[in-house]
Amino acid sequence: MKKILKSIVLLVAFTIVMPQVYAQVSLGINISARIAPPALPVYTQPVCPGDGYIWTPGYWAYADPDGYYWVPGVWVRPPHVGVLWTPAYWGYVGGVYGFHAGYWGPHVGFYGGVNYGFGYGGVGFGGGVWAGNVFRYNTAVANVNTTVVHNTYINKTVINNNTTINNNRTSFNGPGGVNASPNEQERSAMNENHMQPTSNQMDHQQTASRDHNQFASVNHGAPATTAMNRVNGRSFNQQGRIANGISSGKLNAGETKNLENREANLNKEVRTDRADNGGHLTGQERNQVNNQQNKLSNSIDADKHNANNANYGNNEVGQRKANQQQRIAQGIRNGQMNDRQAARTENREQNINRNVNTDRRANDGRLTAQQHRQINHQQNRASRQISHQRHG
């Protein structure tokens, strides 16, 4: 409670003392720090829980003296129709990192040029638009179950700004961070009426501040919960953990295929249950899904810590396999590859790996020129398939 009160006192102080400097955010700077916030963690977006929710990306908040803690990205209901969320950001000026609080308004304002992903590529918001009293979701960047939510469209032009936080994970604006300043539209948005975060959003941040696993001093920049489907809902970081396991080589193609198949089957089960219950899950179904997610989480952890690591070898074929796996991991992180696509892709990679191993055993550990050409042909086909799945 003392930490929260301190933030409120600082909020009032900064807003009163420095209104001209920080007028772009009506809430001003509510806290400052002498050290830079950590890089943005890698995660995937949970499925939108239903009509009317808007995605608010995760961010690093600060609590003295414990330091930075991660507030998970979450789907929330806006205070009323017609408003959009401008994310919080850290700005470095004069040797101090100042926190600019997020806010609701008719248009998206300046958020430091930070690429939060999922429609927040550094400028504006590409995840959806208001059409009268209905919010329409851009499924090119938003994870929406279209069998439940029908107010959707596709605008792939924003994907170039949605390389998300695994390519450029810088979390602050200013020297050493993102070099960006407000454009004309963002300056105009600064002068509009703004609304503070909802009580649900404030509760969400306070919950994160009470969880020591969210603090960078404990998790070293990899928080336990990176995203949630709604405030007080279920944490969602399975796909991000799988992608990290692929990148590090701790998950091989066979393990990834099995995990992604299980994730796909679970998601299909959830969609079927929702369709049978008017878009909702019963209490029993929700408990069942939680139990299955817990089992899957344990399997991810077990697979990442067993002895079956991906071994690519220091050779041309091995490098090609390693490159393919990195592209798959990138697609999973970005949400450009769903679980079914990832499972099919890893099945192909597993088959190629089996062929390589069989050929090497038959030739004293080497591949003939013909076998090299055959493997390259198979990898070229797999590469085209990955590109097609990621960019549709």
Predicted pLDDT of residue 391: 60
Round to whole Å and give the CA distance between 267 and 343. Answer: 14
Comparing CA positions, the residue from 164, 97, 71 lying closest to residue 126 is 164
DSSP 8-state symbol, 230: S
Q: 79-102: per-residue pLDDT in tens?
A: 999 999 999 999 999 889 999 999
Half-sphere exposure of 361 (CA within 13 A, CB side): 6
Round to whole Å and give the CA distance between 129 and 78. Answer: 13
Round to whole Å and give the CA distance between 159 and 28. Answer: 31
Predicted pLDDT of residue 90: 96
Predicted pLDDT of residue 380: 82
Predicted pLDDT of residue 41: 87
Backbone angles phi, psi at 83, to 5 degrees: -110, 155
Contact by Cβ (8 Å): 162, 141: yes
Contact by Cβ (8 Å): 44, 235: no
Please name the residue ranges forming H helices in 215-368.
216-219, 238-248, 253-276, 283-304, 316-334, 339-362
Q: 141-162: per-residue pLDDT in tens?
A: 898 888 888 999 998 877 654 4
Predicted pLDDT of residue 381: 81
Contact by Cβ (8 Å): 98, 34: no
Starting at the edge strand that comes first in sequence, how are the strands of the sheet with 227-228 ordered? 54-56, 73-76, 227-228
Count of other CB atoms within 10 angstroms of residue 136: 16
Contact by Cβ (8 Å): 51, 21: no
The CA–CA distances, whole Å, from 26 to 86, 105, 245, 371 equal: 11, 10, 41, 65
Round to whole Å and give the CA distance between 39 and 164. Answer: 12
Q: What is the pTM of this model?
A: 0.60
The CA–CA distances, whole Å, from 145 to 150, 152, 235, 246, 279 equal: 8, 10, 18, 26, 10
Low-confidence ranges of the chain (pLDDT < 70): 1-30, 159-168, 234-237, 240, 274, 279-281, 313, 333-336, 389-392
Round to whole Å and give the CA distance between 64 and 377. Answer: 57
